Amino acid sequence: MEKEKIIRIEDVLAIIKRRRWGITISALAVFLLSVVVVLVWEPVYRSTSTILIEDQEIPREYVMATVSSYAEQRLQAINQRTMSASRLLEIIKRFDLYADKRKKLTTEEIVEIMRKKDIKFQTITADVVDPRTGRPTAATIAFTLSYEGKNPVVVQQVATVLASLYL
């Protein structure tokens, strides 16, 4: 039978001593690359509002079925109005957003960047019991609205304006 090889601490130290330049150069390269990435990478700030959707205060029996709609449908309609090009252009001009991109891109492209890249809209759902049927169902109970940018003060102001458009 073959003898099991036991690795002693002296063996490990000898391996490290033989490979010290490779280990040192690798560690130094990783450290320098990390420093370069940190210095070059621009910070991105995000301001987020979470808005809770409350039930209507008028009893359902007094409201016609066509008047009371689901929260998702109402949110979708409000979202379409809020994310319209005219509303977003108004915000872009008010806060002087995308000044560097306005020289190169059309207003439609800038609005599209704002919609798809910088504004995030996400609904929050929960499992609830439908009072009419008594069955469990998923319902939208809140939503979050975020805006991202390079200036923390402006990002917070834009997020506040966007959130106020939903209220």
- The string of pLDDT tens digits covering residues 106-132 is 999 999 999 999 999 998 888 877 777
Q: Which two tokens stand for residue 86?
A: 């005219």
Residue among 154, 49, 150, 47 at smallest CA distance from 95? 154
Q: How far apart are CA 6 and CA 1, in angstroms?
A: 15
136-149 sheet: strands from edge to edge: 45-52, 136-149, 119-129
pLDDT of res. 61: 54
User: What pTM did the predictor assign?
Assistant: 0.68
Among the residue ranges 4-18, 53-67, 92-106, 131-145, the one predicted with the least confidence is 53-67
pLDDT of residue 103 exceeding 70:
yes
pLDDT, residue 63, reads 47
- CA-to-CA distance for 121 and 83, rounded, in angstroms? 10
pLDDT at res. 52: 87
The total number of residues shown for the chain amounts to 167
Residue 5 host element (H or E): none
**Chain centroid, CA 26 distance in Å:** 35
| N- to C-terminal Cα separation, the chain | 80
Q: Average of pLDDT values for 86-114?
A: 91
Residues in a beta bridge with 153: none
- The predicted pLDDT at position 55 comes to 67
Residue 69 has pLDDT above 60, yes or no: no
